[in-house]
Amino acid sequence: MQRHLIQVQTFYTAPETDIFITFHHRRMYWCRPEGAVELLADGTKRRGTVDGWRGDSVGGQPLIPERLSGQLQAVQMFRGTICTVAAKEYLLKKLGDEVLAQVQVAERAEEALLRAQIDLITLLTWQDFETLVELVFSGSGWRRTSTTGGAQKTVDLELVLPSTGDRAFVQVKSRATAKTFQDYVDRLAGMPDISRMFFVWHTGGIGAEPIPATVTPIGPERLAQMVLDAGLTKWLREKVS
């Protein structure tokens, strides 16, 4: 009984500085209460909000499960109407787009690691570079259907995605130029059985021309992130050490 009284009192008296949260359809929403409780014609009660319910942070980041800690999401298990949020500090930082100090340390360490990996990638032989690219794609679900670095003049690596049947080819270049990139974009147009192309390089650039939706360029920064996500950091270090 005492718990129910506290919940009712909170609904009626919580000031505008308080924050209410709720979860609906895989999203967290929040608001600040405003004004007095209103009795509706059907006997239910309603209280206004300062500026409505929001499903994103102050800076516009969606408040979806992938972006929220398990401790905060645990309040969904509460079998009542209103409860206290234990992860209050975390909640306020999340709504205000503030990054925890521990997360900042981790982000700086990851940025340093990615920069170091870019430098290491440029030290690979072209054979090892192609092998690295092959390992990255196989780790993300793509299955190789041709031999890397084979006799084919058009592609370095042919892939199929078993879950969808999509077929793709990967062109791997240690040094890229806008002309080379466009040449392979044009070749894709003449391969009706291939649905997309990945163009991977670690030095140079491909220019700023519009890129077809069926073409995915993967430069050094993106490749370094993919290497990290695939757990190939140690493999990369050992190849150049």
**Mean pLDDT over residues 172-185, rounded?**
92
Closest CA to 76 of 19, 14, 27: 27
Mean pLDDT confidence for 66-79: 92
CB 172 within 8 A of CB 219: no
Q: Which pLDDT score is estimated for 151?
A: 44
Assess whether pLDDT exceeds 60 at residue 192: yes
Res 193: pLDDT: 86
Cα–Cα distance for residue pair 84/3, rounded to 1 Å: 11
Q: How confident is the model at residue 2 (pLDDT cuts 50, 70, 90)?
A: confident
Q: Count the neighbouring beta carbons within 10 Å of the beta carbon of residue 133.
A: 26
Closest residue by Cα to residue 214 from 198, 193, 190, 192: 198
Residue 219 DSSP SS3: coil
Segment 89-105, tens digit of pLDDT = 999 999 999 988 888 99
Comparison of pLDDT for 1 and 201, the residue scoring more: 201
Query: What pLDDT does 30 receive?
Result: 97
Angstrom distance (rounded) from CA 131 to CA 230:
13
Say what the pLDDT of residue 150 is: 47
For the segment 154-165, the average pLDDT, to the nearest whole number, is 84
Q: Which of 193, 118, 117 is nearest to 155 (CA)?
A: 193
For all residues of the chain together, what is the average pLDDT?
91
Higher local confidence (pLDDT), 1 or 36: 36
pLDDT digits (tens, 9 = 90+) for 117-145: 999 999 999 999 999 999 999 998 999 88
Q: Look at residue 154 in the predicted model and tell me its pLDDT.
A: 52
Sorted by where each starts, the structural domains of the chain and their CATH numbers stand as: 2-98 (no CATH), 104-240 (3.40.1350)
